[in-house]
Amino acid sequence: MKIFTPIIINGLAVKNRTVMAPMCMYSAQEDGFVSQFHRVHYPTRAYGGIGLIIQEATAIEPRGRITDHDLGIWSDEHGLGLKELVSMVHMAGGKMAIQLAHAGRKSRNTFEPIVSSCNQRFNDKYDIPKQLSISEIKDIVAAFKQGAKRAKEAGYDGIEIHGAHGYLINQFLSPFTNKRDDEYGGSLEKRTRFLLEILTAVREVWRGPLWVRLSADEYIEQGHRLEDTLKVIDLIKHLIDAVNVSSGGISPSVPKVFPGYQLAFSAAIREKGLLTFGGGLINSIEEAEQALAKEKADLIYFGRPLLLRPFIVLEAAKTYAPELVIPQYERG
């Protein structure tokens, strides 16, 4: 099965095509530090056979957290716990990437005022954000760069920049949320400038695998559709190795979902010559294999199924590739 074959992402050898999607666990210590929960949660999925684990959204500054209990990477002190986490995943046979993120107007942290591309709130349950000044935008770009530097020092194998789901980068990309009239708003090229500057800054300190998570379709008339996302990719593809393809999140509206509902977006982006991580309610190795066989994606991410079935890969390997089961678990 193709799902069990290795793949190389900018020099990084991943043992199979399975990916653990970044899923916030809201279990960090109050100041964004790794907790005992993370030390069990992530290595368990690596022992379960997942080839590449993408750590949950990790904030590059305190006000960039979705909640007070998100992981952080805004200080050198975070590095010790993050380095330990990476080492444990490596020991379990997996590769580990980190998702660098800023929540923008979708932050519910209780310590600092929230910010966005404009002063338009997500809904009436969220605060009204402060519109970022140009100098503040530059500071956030620098914070992403510093986060990438710390990620490198911690030993991560890959870096994902979170540009999806209505968080800060997506708030700049989308015409639905970006009403600026300066060099960061207006045309698609100007709305992409924030992301482009972040990627350029990250590349100054990181030469390893780098990719972006994007909402390929925002499911609203005033937002990005697939054709807009493809134009964004044209502007950034010289800086990235892959795209983690998702959708939605810029507004409270929710699309109809079904197994693999985002794979068509992944297939279209893949035609740009980039590797793609595809998924969306993929619940089994068999469904993942079908997506790979139809060339919808190069790797398949699993989200919710891994919360209750951390050994989903080894369960399938028992039938399809018994030689891949680690010795300690052969009796299973």
Mean pLDDT of the chain, nearest integer: 97
Q: Quick one: pLDDT at residue 257?
A: 94
Q: How far apart are the C-alpha atoms of 148 and 235, rounded to whole Å?
A: 21
Q: How many CB atoms lie within 10 A of CB 127?
A: 13
Q: Give yes or no for residue 273 having a pLDDT over 90.
A: yes
pLDDT for residue 166: 98
pTM: 0.97
How confident is the model over 212-229, as pLDDT tens digits? 999 999 999 999 999 999
Encoding tokens for residue 66?
Answer: 């979705």
pLDDT higher than 90, residue 67: yes
Residue 30 confidence (pLDDT): 85
Q: Where are the domains of the chain?
A: 2-329
* Band of pLDDT at residue 331, cut at 50, 70 and 90: confident
What pLDDT is recorded for position 326? 83
Asked whether the predicted pLDDT for residue 66 surpasses 90, the reply is yes
Q: Which of 14-23, 260-269, 321-330 has the lowest mean pLDDT?
A: 321-330
Q: Is 52 exposed, middle or buried (0-12, 13-18, 19+ CB in 10 A)?
A: buried
pLDDT digits (tens, 9 = 90+) for 192-208: 999 999 999 999 999 99
Provide the pLDDT for residue 324.
82
Q: What is the pLDDT of residues 281-317, one digit of tens each?
A: 999 999 999 999 999 999 999 999 999 999 999 999 9
More confident residue, 252 or 22: 22
- Per-residue pLDDT, averaged over 169-191, amounts to 98
Residue 141, pLDDT score = 99
* Amino acid sitting at position 298: D
Q: Is the pLDDT of residue 329 over 90?
A: no
Phi, psi of 175 (to 5 degrees): -65, -15
Is 260 within 8 Å of 296 (Cβ atoms)? yes
Can you tell me the distance from the alpha carbon of 164 to that of 186, in angstroms, rounded to the nearest whole number? Answer: 19
pLDDT category at 4 given cuts 50, 70, 90 is: very high
**What average pLDDT score do residues 91-102 get?**
98
Q: What is the pLDDT of residue 276?
A: 98
Mean pLDDT along residues 95-102: 98
Is residue 111 scored above 90 in pLDDT? no
Q: What is the pLDDT of residue 73?
A: 98
Mean pLDDT across the stretch 154-165?
98
- Alpha-carbon gap, residue 22 to 190, rounded angstroms: 28
> Once rounded to an integer, what is the mean pLDDT over residues 150-169?
98
For the domain 2-329, what is the CATH code? 3.20.20.70
pLDDT at 261: 97
Give me the sign of the Cα torsion angle 321, 325, 327, 331.
negative
Residues whose CB falls within 8 Å of the CB of residue 54, separated by 6 or more in sequence, listed in order: 19, 20, 21, 22, 97, 98, 99, 158, 160, 244, 301
Q: Is the pLDDT of residue 332 over 90?
A: no
Q: How many CB atoms lie within 10 A of CB 309?
A: 16
**Average of per-residue pLDDT across 163-183:** 98
In this prediction, residue 51 carries a pLDDT of 97
Q: Which of 54, 74, 53, 55 is nearest to 63 (CA)?
A: 74
- Give residue 327's pLDDT: 85
Q: How many residues does the chain have?
A: 332
